[in-house]
Amino acid sequence: MEASQSWFEKNGFTLDAVLHHQDIIPFIKKYLFTSNFFTLSYLFLNLLFLIALLFSFYIQISSDTVKLFDSFTWFGFGCALTFALVPIHEGLHGLAYKLCGAPSVSFAANWKKLYFMAIADKFVATRYPFYFIGSLPFLFISLVLIVLTLLSNDGRQIMLLSTLLIHTSMCAGDFGLMSYFAEKSNQQVATYDDHQNSVTYFFVK
């Protein structure tokens, strides 16, 4: 459905928060440092992937499969691969919006603060569609990386685990937004993007 003030008034919603796209970090921090399923999952997965990466470093270097200097080179490749995945990540957000019924999707980037957004102008998303939209890129990319990691050895394993860890950490915005919905679990929540004014509105009932 397309957002309109009359639709929200008719359905008993009131404005709860306004997120300016150029000032997204304080909003994300506020909801990322709470305690709910999404924030605890984010913390746990980052810790798990960090341990897996360190263990891979230890195994590859101690078995002399990879030299110490080369291991850091593979880590650098993992960093580069993470940024190469950004278009795929945002494209998956766009696909999820389309599957949920959004008529159009656009993309924006803040290169200074290094974050990226998929925007579905005036499309109203409620709780569970938003969970799908917010989690699809993380779930799909993580699954692919985990499978490839299990099939790899030597430096490629370090590269893939590095990518998995860094990509997960860079999903902070997605987890923070889903955390907002989780914190409003006793209320109905709806949100939409206003692309022209670079803001996202959140309504509750």
**8 A C-beta contact, residue 58 and residue 136:** no
- Integer-rounded Cα Rg, in Å, for the chain is 19
Q: What would the mean pLDDT of 58-86 be, rounded to a whole number?
A: 91
- Sequence-distant (6+) residues with CB within 8 A of 38 are 175, 178, 179, 182
What is the C-alpha to C-alpha distance for residues 91 and 116, in angstroms, rounded to an integer?
Answer: 11
pLDDT digits (tens, 9 = 90+) for 1-40: 566 667 787 888 999 999 999 889 999 999 999 999 999 9
DSSP 23: G
pLDDT given at position 153: 84
Q: Any long-range contacts for 58-66 (C-beta under 8 Å, 24+ apart)?
A: 60/153, 60/154, 60/155, 60/157, 60/158, 65/153, 65/154, 65/155, 66/154, 66/155, 66/158
Ranges of each domain in the chain: 5-204
